[in-house]
Amino acid sequence: MLSLGVVVNTSTVILGSLIGIPLGNKLKEKYKSVFFISIGFLTLLLGVSMGLKSGNFLVILGSLVIGGLIGEFLQIEDRISKLAKKFSKKNGSTFSMGFVSATVLFVVGPMTILGCINSGLTGNNNILYIKSIMDGISSVAFASVYGFGVLASAASVFVIEEGLALFGSNLQFLTLPAYLNDFTGTGGAMMLMIGIRILNLKEIKVGNFLPALIIAPILDFLVLSIH
């Protein structure tokens, strides 16, 4: 049975994106730049806030290096861009940036893990309902800048969150502070990369670092096993 909280969360991302996309099309370039700068700095702020929650910065470093190498080998970002170009006449890199940015923003963080696992175990969706409101508002802003890539991220939200809710009983260990903080910290580092890219400070293929989110709990498991 599907988690109601996950369905609501996915729906708010879709709704917010559908509001944001036409809004962005009507904005003049000079106003769009205001959105870009605002979202860029907000993303940097979120990244710093999330990154400081980590209890082990070596785990974050290891996750980013290993995950980044895997992503570079698999050419994740390039594949997303190529896939986008098949379905859209617009710039594939813009779609890719929107998809990756929104996926990281909506999926990474303690509210996702705690909310989904709690939903799966007890049926209580309160955390996910609160998260849904936040994600819906964020999706309007991001979709006004990045368009359909943000809308596509709703699929990531549904698959990942439903997976966490479905296998909640087996994934309770992720709610332990060591796992939760380092997972959030790794996501925070990726948010910083996204912010840097949004502000055009450096072109970073953030999508290639997505495997880092899987590597982080694996490294934490190894570290805790040694201790």
For the chain (227 residues), the mean pLDDT of every run of 10, in chain order, is 94 97 83 84 91 89 97 92 69 81 89 92 92 94 90 95 90 89 93 91 92 95 89
Angle of helix 29-51 versus helix 92-107 axis, rounded to 10: 40
| Angle at alpha carbon of residue 102, lines to 50 and 37, rounded to 5° | 75
Phi, psi values for residue 5, rounded to 5°: -60, -40
DSSP H helical ranges for 88-147: 92-107, 110-122, 126-146
What span, in angstroms and rounded, lies between the C-alpha atoms of 74 and 132? 32
Strands, E assignment, the chain:
none
> Which residue do the tokens 């509210």 mark?
111
Q: What is the pLDDT of residue 30?
A: 78
Which domain does 33 fall in, by range?
4-226
pTM for the model: 0.83
Q: What is the pLDDT of residue 29?
A: 77
